[in-house]
Amino acid sequence: MNIKRVKGDAGEELTVKWLKRRRYKILERNYSCRWGEIDVIAQKGEVLCFVEVKTRAAASFGRPAEAVDARKQQRILKTANVYLAQHPCDFQPRFDVAEVVLDNGKCQEINYIENAFGE
């Protein structure tokens, strides 16, 4: 397994723990379809959160969320629409980004951005 994948998996695991501590129910991890992948799908109250996790090393330049550009957002939106077609519900969808910053493999910061983007 490559180092990028290991770092990404660690960021996703830290994000899932962060969400659970805040009483989110984790519905899916690494949901994928032909349009793309959503790292975490979670539910809290009447909100269904589609979470993109971006993990970076502390020495990286720029914020991790900057990597979620318009093209990536469109892929996530299309993937979320497929998920909603397969799992109909009355919850309000929301698109969040979790920025995870690691320093020597240890979590330095989690910045959770609600409503980071949307249709």
Sign of torsion over alpha carbons 55, 42, 75, 83: positive
Q: Which domain holds residue 100?
A: 3-117
Q: Which domain CATH number covers 38?
A: 3.40.1350.10
The number of distinct structural domains making up the chain is 1
Q: Is the pLDDT of residue 1 over 60?
A: no
Q: Is the pLDDT of residue 110 over 80?
A: yes
* Per-residue pLDDT at 48: 98
* Residue-wise pLDDT tens digits, 53-104: 999 887 677 788 888 999 999 999 999 999 999 999 999 999 999 999 988 8
* Per-residue pLDDT at 108: 84
Q: Is the pLDDT of residue 105 over 90?
A: no
Phi and psi dihedrals of 69, rounded to 5? Answer: -80, 180
More confident residue, 62 or 12: 12
Q: What own/partner pairs with CB < 8 Å and gap ≥ 24 does 42-47 have?
A: 43/91, 46/90, 46/91, 46/92, 47/91, 47/92, 47/93, 47/94
* Per-residue pLDDT at 2: 66
